Structure 1
Amino acid sequence: MEFSTLFNDNWLNLIVIFALSIIAFVFKKKPKSNYFENIIKYTDILEKTPQPQYQKDYLNNIKKKLLWEKVCFYRSGNRNKERIAISLINSDIYNIIDLTQLNSLTQYFAIEKNKIYPLKLFLVKEFVVSCIAAVIAIIFVLSNLNTIFKSPEIISVIIAILTIFIITIIISQFIVPVIKRLNMLRLILKDNDFLNRANHQLAVIIEDDQKINISIAEQVFVQNEQESDNKN
């Protein structure tokens, strides 16, 4: 078989193999580094030497942020995501939730009128993208299975087998975690009291946050009053 004929018969598979290989390379896990441990050691050493208070506060805040990144299983910054994550964990009396999936699991829930509720699956971007990817993968697999059983060219058969193998590996890397989260969602919804417990936890969080905000506002007010008196 000439190269041009080979390419014309298998150009789509070759492009898929090339594209998925790049995706696999890009998303390949980076080797673990000692960045976290080194920063902690560095701040510990600096704390043992004479430092001004602002420097000590700076180092302590760095350590807090590093510890957050190290041990927290959901991303900070989005207040509703944090509230959902905390409420879900505090309500999980049957250990349904895999902590490594917590951050991604929060996207299946939303808060409205201070209540947590599960989103419709077609509103979850991850689910929609996964379904589209799965459908495309199935079409490619079926097409290549047809090539395997009907093509007289051994090279085309080999390329088809390789394409199916790569598609299966790459898609499984994305689909399996989604299936895990969907199963957790199923178990959560199967527990009739789970959302009630979660909403109770959310109410506690909101109440405590309001108390903290009031306390901060009072402190600021007192501080401003003191500064005003000192000026007078």
Structure 2
Amino acid sequence: MEISELLHDNWFNLIIIFVLSFIAFMYKKRPQNDGFDNIIKYTDILEKTPHPQYKTEFLNNIKKKLIWNKVCFYKAGGINKERIAISLINADVHNIIELTQLDSLTHYFSITKNHIIPLKPYLIKEVILSSTAFMFAFVMLLSNIVTIFSSSLIINVIVAILTIFIIIIALFRFALTPIKRFKTYLLIVKDKAFLQRANNELAKIIKDKNNINAAMLDEITEPEK
């Protein structure tokens, strides 16, 4: 078989093999923050030497950010996202939430009128993308299975088998985590007591925030009296 004929019959499969292999390679090569502990030690040493107050605050803030990046399980950002994360963890008395999934799990919920509301699955971006990927993978698997049993050319059969193998590996590598996260979401949605506990925690957060704001307002207005 000529190269042109091979590409003509299998160009789409070859693109899939290349793209999935490239994604897997890049995912595996992501750099690790190995210098974190050394940076923390360095800031500790600097704190023990005399510094102006602004430099001390600077070092303390650097350390806080480093610790957050290292050990926090949700990314700082919108205040509602942070409140959802804290409320879910504080309400999780049965430990059904994996901490490594907490950041992504916050996207499955929203805060409406000071209540945590689970989003409908068709409104969750990750669910939509995962469903689309699954349907595409299913079509590709079915197509290549047909090729295996119908093609008379051995090279086409080999490429089809390789494509199936790569797709299955990709599904196990990238799809299991969203599935586990969606199962956690379903467990939370079905457990009305969980949502009630989460909303109770949210009420505490909002109350504390209001108290802090009121205290700050009193401090500002008191000198003016």
Q: Contact 1:130/1:174 (CA < 8 Å) preserved in 2?
A: no
**1:52-201 matched pairs, under 5 angstroms:** 52-201=52-201
Identity, in percent, stands at 58
Shift of 1:31: 4.2
Structure 2 residue 28 is the aligned partner of structure 1 residue 28: yes
Superimposed CA distance per residue, residues 116-151 of structure 1 (whole angstroms, 9 cap, x where no aligned partner): 111000000000010001000110011111111121
Shift of 1:32: 2.6
Superimposed CA distance per residue, residues 137-169 of structure 1 (whole angstroms, 9 cap, x where no aligned partner): 110011111111121211111111111111122
Q: Contact 1:84/1:110 (CA < 8 Å) preserved in 2?
A: yes
Extract structure 1 runs of 4+ deviating beyond 3 A. 220-223
Structure 1 CA distance for aligned equivalents of residues 111 and 9 of structure 2:
52
Structure 2 CA distance for aligned equivalents of residues 81 and 51 of structure 1:
36
Superimposed CA distance per residue, residues 46-80 of structure 1 (whole angstroms, 9 cap, x where no aligned partner): 11212111111111111111111222101112111
Secondary structure of residue in 1 paired with 2:197: helix
Secondary structure of residue in 2 paired with 1:93: coil
Secondary structure of residue in 2 paired with 1:164: helix
Taking structure 1 as reference, are residues 219 and 34 closer, same or farther at Cα in structure 2, changes over 3 Å only? farther
TM-score (norm 1): 0.91
Secondary structure of residue in 1 paired with 2:192: coil
Structure 2: runs of 5 or more not aligned? none
Shift of 1:171: 2.7
Structure 2 CA distance for aligned equivalents of residues 206 and 81 of structure 1:
13
- Aligned alpha-carbon RMSD (Å): 1.6
Secondary structure of residue in 2 paired with 1:110: strand
Secondary structure of residue in 2 paired with 1:94: coil
Structure 1 CA distance for aligned equivalents of residues 95 and 137 of structure 2:
33
Structure 1: runs of 5 or more not aligned? 227-232
Shift of 1:170: 1.7
Residues matched between the structures, number = 225
Shift of 1:22: 2.2
Q: Contact 1:147/1:157 (CA < 8 Å) preserved in 2?
A: yes
Shift of 1:222: 4.5
Structure 1 CA distance for aligned equivalents of residues 107 and 88 of structure 2:
12
Aligned to 1:230: none
